[in-house]
A and B are shown apart, each in its own frame.
Chain A
Amino acid sequence: MATIQFRDIRKSFGDTDVLKGVGLDIADGEFLSLVGPSGCGKSTLLRILAGLESQTSGSVRIGGTPVDGLHAADRDLAMVFQSYALYPHLSVAENIAVPLTMRRLSNAQRLPLIGRALPGSRTTRAAIGTTVREAAEMLDIAHLLDRKPGQLSGGQRQRVALGRALVRDPSAFLLDEPLSNLDAKMRVHMRAEIAQLNRKLGATFVYVTHDQAEAMTMSDRIAVMMEGELLQVGTPDALYDHPEDIRVAQFIGSPAINILPVDTDASGTIRLCDMATGLRASGPPIEHLGVRPEAFVPCEEGELVVGRVRMIENLGSDLFVHLDAAGVPMPVTVRLPSSARGRIKVRDVMRLTATPARICGFDSAGKAAPVSAHDKAHDKAHDTAHDKVARHV
């Protein structure tokens, strides 16, 4: 129930700049995922938002009010730590109850022994016990309530950490890779639970993850961060279909996008391995083309890429075909429907094309640049040149 705004946040630890001017607006009730490779500063940004670390410069606003200098306890946020940060000497139930006892009981009521005898303490404690039990049941850890964190597996600890954040009703939840240690089934289950919680509570969620599939399925918007900078912030669809940076394109999507190194001549014609591709750069010169595996379609002629099948992965529902293509250092991955099963064999030659709308172009700096179909589409020279390559591979 709060908006969050980062304004040009910078953070350095000594000489190393960890955050290099992060600006980000998160809407009320939004589910925003922060993704990026290890060490890019995701946790640092989250800790600055939480008030556990102070930024070198820039400001943070929660619900429109600047919170710089406000104690973490006063920011009304709940956080799941990447390292869980469970209290090792308290049982699971006590761990989950801490945020409630700290906020619902008075100082006197929290005192050992005497505190329990004070008026109101009994009923509040009973209510806390119920809330804790409910949270534990949702996370499937009700049978572990009496154990100490040291007696739990990594995944169970992670669920306790999640429980400790979820028992409260804060204005925003900050989750730092909360599902990284769970098994596949539990992860899918928790994904649904967290997404549902976001809808039910209407609280803002900031969710850090390495796992782009997690980010794609759960988020309203995704912020991709690399080396302390936000590369792109947008809906999962926007990031997938229109990445603004080649690194975003490579990070989002599994299997990864195919990157084809190309040249652009003075007239704007894009050439792959010295052959015209039928595409032209309508903006700055293009150095790389990005094509999603499912954007490729096999064709008889006028292809973009031609290559020999190196390996076929049959997933039942889909078929992933990996090709060694001329002029492309990495194998090209193509996703085909299951109907293609049996029709393609290893060492076959495949010709692939894609509609220009589904091809992303990137300039020399790796930024997105427009690509359009060439006016006189497939000239003769193009075809013969490709045939030569096909024989060659």
Chain B
Amino acid sequence: MSDLASLTNSGPKQQRIARPERPERRQARAGMVLFAPALVLLILILIVPVGVAALLSFTDYTLGRPSIDWVGLRNYIDIFTGSSYRKMIVATVLYVALVVPASVFLGLGAALLIRSLNVGQSFYKTVYFLPVMASLLAMAIVWEFALHPTLGIVNRTLAMGCGTPLELWSWFARSCVDGFPLWLGDRDYALYTLAFIGIWQSFGFNMVLYLAGLTSVPTELYGAAAMDGVKRGWERFRLITWPMLGPTTVFVVTITMIRSFQVFDTVEALTHGGPAKSTYVMIYAIYEKGIAQNLVGLGAAITILFLAFVMLISVAQRRFVERKVHYQ
């Protein structure tokens, strides 16, 4: 028994000296070396600035003032108690909640429709992708003209509907009498109008992602489904297309969410957060407080809050992916 123990104890030890290093080890070390520059850069341009912002968010720092005072959680308390900050959260969340589902499902729908076309696929792809390629700031000016309360093409077109059966719709009838909405100038409509522009702008991008996702669905599966008795398009979608697009959907939803959290250009160009702070979204608030009004500490606090939201989405996405979505 003790013989056996000594044998097994000494055996591997002697071998270990002679045995060459395992290739996995060597590869792992090479990997570390190659990965180091990226890690350094990541720390320098991402982690450190976020850390600085986090520190600043507990101060009343403003650019140019020599002294900095530690204010603790006051910036955060301001955010959660001040009414304009509450409006900021509401506007941001509402914007995201409107833009994400609409642009994801429109993107999917457009992709499916385009795929089913025999001719004109590239024409429709181009048309739907144009808003993505166009500069949103330039497009914002076009929208501003189109949505002008009296001269804009939108309200003028709507006004042509007065006196037609469209007036059966009570909202329409009322608008014919009281005038059509001011859109960007009306606190009840401004955010929805911005969301509409956001959807218009981003669904083409989602469509392209879905088109790419659709090409990776093996066509043989549709044949198998047909043999298995699947006839209707909806069943085919439920059995194959939708599950197979799972990874694409997770990616599309995440990226659309993060992009719509970051909405800024249309707000800056069209509404400046107004009217009555109804379109006062987060990035615009960061810009206004931190840069325009030089309240760097407050701006930093909103930034940290923003990062927390984005982080939450990423974590939720990872969780969801691991649990539900099928990856091949």
Whether A83 lies near B220 (C-beta < 8 A) is yes
* Bound Cα distance from A263 to B231, whole angstroms: 60
Q: Which chain A residue shows the least CB distance to B224?
A: A85
Binds A, one of B206-214, B236-244, B267-275, B304-312: B236-244
- State how many angstroms separate the Cβ of B230 from the closest Cβ of chain A: 6
Residues of B close to A50: CB separation below 8 A: 223, 226-227
Q: Which chain A residue shows the least CB distance to B228?
A: A99
Residues of A close to B224: CB separation below 8 A: 79, 81, 85-87, 164
Residues of A close to B230: CB separation below 8 A: 73, 102
* Bound Cα distance from A103 to B226, whole angstroms: 11
Whether A89 lies near B226 (C-beta < 8 A) is no
Whether B223 lies near A102 (C-beta < 8 A) is no
* Bound Cα distance from A77 to B228, whole angstroms: 9
* Bound Cα distance from A150 to B326, whole angstroms: 10
Residue among B218, B239, B246 making CB contact with A85, cutoff 8 Å: B218
Residues of A close to B220: CB separation below 8 A: 81, 83, 85
Residue among A78, A83, A150 making CB contact with B227, cutoff 8 Å: A78
B276 contacts the other chain (CB 8 A): no
A295 contacts the other chain (CB 8 A): no
Residue among A71, A83, A164 making CB contact with B228, cutoff 8 Å: A164
Residues 60 to 78 of chain B near chain A (Cβ within 8 Å):
none
A389 contacts the other chain (CB 8 A): no
- State how many angstroms separate the Cβ of B124 from the closest Cβ of chain A: 25
B221 contacts the other chain (CB 8 A): yes
Residues 134 to 184 of chain A near chain B (Cβ within 8 Å):
148, 150, 164-165
Task: Mark contacts of B242-286 with chain A using CB atoms, 8 A cut-off: 1 yes-contact digit, 0 otherwise.
Answer: 011010000000000000000000000000000000000000000
* Bound Cα distance from A282 to B230, whole angstroms: 58
Residues of A close to B244: CB separation below 8 A: 88-89
A47 contacts the other chain (CB 8 A): yes
Whether A72 lies near B239 (C-beta < 8 A) is no
B167 contacts the other chain (CB 8 A): no
B328 contacts the other chain (CB 8 A): yes
Whether A150 lies near B239 (C-beta < 8 A) is no
Q: Which chain B residue shows the least CB distance to A47?
A: B223
Most central of B220, B223, B228, B246 by chain A CB within 10 Å: B228
* Bound Cα distance from A86 to B326, whole angstroms: 14
Residues of A close to B243: CB separation below 8 A: 87, 89-90
Whether A102 lies near B326 (C-beta < 8 A) is no
Residue among B227, B231, B240 making CB contact with A77, cutoff 8 Å: B227
- State how many angstroms separate the Cβ of A295 from the closest Cβ of chain B: 44
Whether A89 lies near B326 (C-beta < 8 A) is yes
Whether B246 lies near A89 (C-beta < 8 A) is yes
* Bound Cα distance from A104 to B230, whole angstroms: 12
B229 contacts the other chain (CB 8 A): yes
* Bound Cα distance from A85 to B217, whole angstroms: 11
Residue among A52, A74, A98, A103 making CB contact with B223, cutoff 8 Å: A52
Residues of A close to B229: CB separation below 8 A: 73, 99, 102-103
Whether A98 lies near B239 (C-beta < 8 A) is yes
* Bound Cα distance from A50 to B220, whole angstroms: 13
Q: Which chain A residue shows the least CB distance to B244?
A: A89
Residues of B close to A81: CB separation below 8 A: 220, 223-224
* Bound Cα distance from A2 to B191, whole angstroms: 64
Whether A72 lies near B328 (C-beta < 8 A) is no
A29 contacts the other chain (CB 8 A): no
Q: Which chain B residue shows the least CB distance to A102?
A: B229
* Bound Cα distance from A102 to B229, whole angstroms: 6
Residues of B close to A90: CB separation below 8 A: 243
Residue among A47, A78, A85, A148 making CB contact with B326, cutoff 8 Å: A148
Q: Which chain A residue shows the least CB distance to B327?
A: A150
Q: 15 pairs across A/B with beta carbons < 8 Å?
A: A71-B226, A72-B226, A72-B227, A73-B230, A83-B218, A83-B220, A85-B218, A85-B221, A87-B221, A87-B224, A88-B326, A89-B244, A98-B228, A102-B228, A102-B230
Give 5 closest A-B pairs by Cβ, nearest first. Answer: A89-B326, A72-B226, A102-B229, A85-B224, A99-B228
Beyond A47-B223, A85-B221, A89-B246, 7 additional contacts (C-beta under 8 Å) are A52-B223, A73-B231, A87-B221, A87-B239, A99-B229, A102-B235, A110-B235
